Amino acid sequence: MEVIIQPDADRAATLAARLIAARLRDKPDLVLGLATGRTMERVYARLAEMHEGGGLDFSRAQSFNLDEYIGLSARDERSYRHYMNRHLFARVNIDLAHTHLLDGTAPDLKAEAVRYEALIRTAGGIDLQLLGIGEAGHIGFNEPLSALMSRTRDKALTPTTLKQNAAMFGGDLEKVPKRALTMGVGTILDARELLVLVTGAAKAEILARAVEGPITAMVSASAIQLHPSCKVIADEDAAGRLRGRDYYDWIFRNEPEWAAFRD
């Protein structure tokens, strides 16, 4: 794992977008794993700008999102399908038929999870999985005690997550769906590369536990320590509780793979 700390949220998101763009240029038929949440809005805005500027082609790319609320249809503006269409898909030249999300209205949720896993396999697996971390320590919607080998399935959301996401539902906790479909921790770890973006002081404690704490199902984000190719990008506020800071900064300043991203 490598941890790259940037001065602010904007710079952190820009670096994440530049990394995604570099992978897409190297492999135009990239299979991207995508995440939602406020943290990612800036990343998608940067990618859209790069596309509009003529430098980024999504025409052969495919995408798989991490999760979706159960009970919300694609037309519901609070659904993650709607979020993705709004923030990214409508702004770049990706073929909508190549963008995949779990269907939160599927009548048989287990069958939907099996379908999604099969679809990822058929696509050849995910090349680059973008991840945020929730205040409950989750990646996707893998709430505490999610098995580190779990696959795509339905999960009940914790009170912490319901509270964190209530803003998208007019601040009304009662309106937040109580369950979601999510890739499992094992599904996420199967991706060939992980890119984790974490910003803001509210995430400082959970980021330190994910990156430097013991690997535990209580913090599903700590499973990223098991992945052989994982990059974490944080802003100063989120990095406030990390103990290995000096070494992380040294890596960014000195390792050749980061040379193109230092300015």
> Smallest distance, Å, CB 52 to ligand GLP?
24
H helices present in 183-254, as ranges: 185-189, 204-212, 236-239, 245-254
Tell me the per-residue interface mask from 145 to 164 with ligand GLP, x by CB under 6 A, - otherwise. Answer: ----------------x---
In 3D space, the residue among 152, 143, 137 whose CA is nearest the CA of residue 225 turns out to be 137
Backbone angles phi, psi at 100, to 5 degrees: -120, 135
CA atoms within 13 A on the CB side of 220: 28
134 near ligand GLP, judged by CB under 6 A: yes
Tell me the per-residue interface mask from 159 to 188 with ligand GLP, x by CB under 6 A, - otherwise. Answer: --x---x-----------------------
Which of 23, 38, 60, 115 binds ligand GLP (CB under 6 A)? It is: 38
Which of 36, 129, 146, 220 binds ligand GLP (CB under 6 A)? It is: 36
> Smallest distance, Å, CB 223 to ligand GLP?
14
37 near ligand GLP, judged by CB under 6 A: yes
Place of tokens 């990612």: 40
33 near ligand GLP, judged by CB under 6 A: no
Check if the beta carbon of residue 131 is closer than 8 Å to that of residue 195: yes
Neighbours of 193 (CB within 10 A): 17
Q: Which stretch binds ligand GLP (CB under 6 A): 35-43, 45-53, 209-217, 251-259?
A: 35-43
User: Length of the chain in residues, anyone?
Assistant: 263
Place of tokens 């949720």: 109
Instruction: Round to whole Å and give the CA distance between 39 and 23.
Output: 20
Residue 113 DSSP label: H
Q: Which is nearer to ligand GLP, 141 or 252 (CB)?
A: 141
> Smallest distance, Å, CB 34 to ligand GLP?
9
126 near ligand GLP, judged by CB under 6 A: no
140 near ligand GLP, judged by CB under 6 A: yes
The token duo for 26 is 């190297």
Place of tokens 């390792």: 255
Task: Give, as ranges, the residues between 50 and 109 that touch ligand GLP (CB under 6 A).
Answer: 66-67
Give the binding site for ligand GLP (CB under 6 A). Answer: 35-39, 66-67, 132, 134, 140-141, 161, 165
